[in-house]
A = this chain, B = another copy of it.
């Protein structure tokens, strides 16, 4: 662990995260996976993101002084969007600030908040049993208490006996205005959803407690479809050209999804049938394969998706192993190459409400780029390949225990691993670090060539120079030695890994350039750049700029790392129907920019293949 980070512990969620000193509380909250609502877009004007520092609190900002009042400030109250973290601290998040907390209120008061508009809610009810004088139908009797809800024939089949076995007392479960269950006793406290990010390479899932708004468990694994091809196109072709191929790809991802749900429920110690809702965000192809929608047209020009709208499916269509009358929601898409993951990202960052121009760059196997400028949302994607997720890199791996996540070259090679374990391989953030550090030290040239130990500049420390080795006839840089890794060999970055990074970086860099050019903007015009991605939590901004992934012409203070926004957006959609309506609006409003159509793309790409020259660097 790096010693210059500070820890923030959140109550009542009981989660602790580590951030750089000076990070905003908003960033720490996001890293903890807690969903706080920022109706004003984090501008410090609405006061909705109130938190309380337990112990020493930073000096209040002007916005906080204006909105909170002296008593609250003395009590340690601050705004998550305004205050920063300077030291180890414990923070209380009041229920009123957390998205999803309204369910508890809803459940116990039976009074649906129009603002929260949750897709699922529960209410314990006690009804007078029917008599000859009051022979209202069972479902009608429930509507007297629950308001105007809809029937579900599958539930009606068992409702009469369920009501009578429990003396007309129990907990009503309402999903999307539909009564889906009547559970024995008071189960209001047990109401869960799962949000999935269905990446081309990686699947990530979060179990959400809809009562307190907290995360109960997370799980991730490699998308088993990678066995049928690393990229989107190879899977489309497999589905199109192989008999039963589409069904097989669907079954592969669904099997993983089911296992992850089982794993999440076990981690949290809950019954899987108390999960009522699962939301999925992924690129258009991943979502098509998940829903078993013929993806063939996504594989050929003009790359048209079957449908823009989000899809609602009964959970038994997917056989998810959650509540049998639960639902799955798949986010809407913008176009053939810009999918539900991008819609989720715009939703999670409220990009369309942000001061603009603002750019969202989501770095994954497909890089997605969205520009919000003067009310327009322009979205595109580029095939970056899976390098930043550790795939196609000889010693690459995803951000799991033992992954090297930070690398520094000073007098010696220094690195941190996830979980402090012995090093196993390199995750995305380490790749960015090591590429930047090799460039900075002149060990890799801007065209991408890795020098050998003899050609390295004279000012490079001997211990670093010694890491320039040849392995299997290929130049490589040893980040961890065989001694450090223990039983396995060294962790190496090969010349061809540098080439993969160049291609991945160039795709994103060219994409950003084209999007800005079409809007008549310069990088300098951007008020903010939001960088999303699940490729390791600790990307270092100056290193991403040094190796060209992020534009160097923008000040580091305007670059924000927002984590896995696809997952965050899926979480929003799992907890609020209002968020789903916003997602549908975003999908309709955003314009789909086809990079391959742009006359400048190939030129931009061929220029972007070079790493920035040292002189270009701003530091």
Contact = CB atoms under 8 A, between A and B. Distances in A.
A317 B153 contact: yes
A156 B307 contact: yes
A253 to B, nearest CB: 15
B139 A307 contact: yes
Q: Which among A136, A137, A156, A160 has the greatest number of chain B C-beta atoms within 10 A?
A: A137
Contacts of A592: 135
Contacts of A594: 132, 135
A557 interface: no
A425 B131 CA distance: 44
Contact of A135 (B160, B291, B335): B335
Contact of A306 (B137, B293, B303, B317): B137
Contacts of A135: 302-304, 335-336, 592, 594
A144 interface: no
Interface stretch (A17-25, A308-316, A358-366, A492-500): A308-316
A350 interface: no
Interface string A285-298: 00000011111110
A301 B164 CA distance: 13
A137 B294 contact: no
B294 A160 contact: yes
Interface string A543-579: 0000000000000000000000000000000000000
A185 interface: no
- Residue among A136, A313, A592, A594 with max Cβ neighbours from chain B (10 Å): A136
Majority secondary structure of chain A interface residues (helix, strand, loop or mixed)? loop
Interface in A109-150: 130-132, 134-140
A304 B136 contact: yes
A161 B241 CA distance: 13
Contacts of A301: 132
A326 interface: no
A302 to B, nearest CB: 4
Contact of A130 (B132, B160, B295, B302): B302
A137 B308 contact: yes
A271 interface: no
Given A153-B311, A305-B137, A309-B151, A294 B597 contact: no
Contacts of A6: none
A469 interface: no
A309 B160 contact: no
A159 interface: yes
A161 B294 contact: yes
Contacts of A159: 293-294, 306-307
Contacts of A307: 137-140, 151, 156, 159
Interface in A140-191: 140, 151, 153, 156-161, 164
A357 B214 CA distance: 62
Nearest to A159: B306
B136 A293 contact: no
A293 B156 contact: yes
Of A134, A153, A161, A302, the most chain B CB neighbours within 10 A belong to A153
A132 B301 CA distance: 7
A137 B153 CA distance: 33
A151 B307 CA distance: 8
Contacts of A335: 135, 137
A179 B541 CA distance: 49
Contact of A157 (B151, B294, B303, B333): B294
20 contacts: A132-B597, A135-B303, A135-B304, A135-B592, A136-B304, A137-B305, A137-B308, A139-B306, A151-B307, A153-B313, A157-B292, A157-B293, A158-B294, A159-B293, A159-B294, A159-B306, A160-B296, A160-B297, A160-B306, A164-B297
Given A137-B304, A157-B291, A160-B304, 19 more contacts: A132-B301, A132-B597, A135-B302, A138-B297, A138-B305, A138-B306, A139-B309, A151-B307, A153-B291, A156-B291, A156-B293, A156-B306, A157-B293, A158-B294, A159-B294, A159-B306, A160-B297, A161-B294, A164-B297
Report, nearest first, the 7 A-B pairs whose CB atoms are least far apart: A139-B307, A135-B302, A137-B308, A130-B304, A137-B305, A132-B302, A160-B294
Interface of A: 130-132, 134-140, 151, 153, 156-161, 164, 291-297, 301-309, 311, 313, 317, 333, 335-336, 592, 594, 597
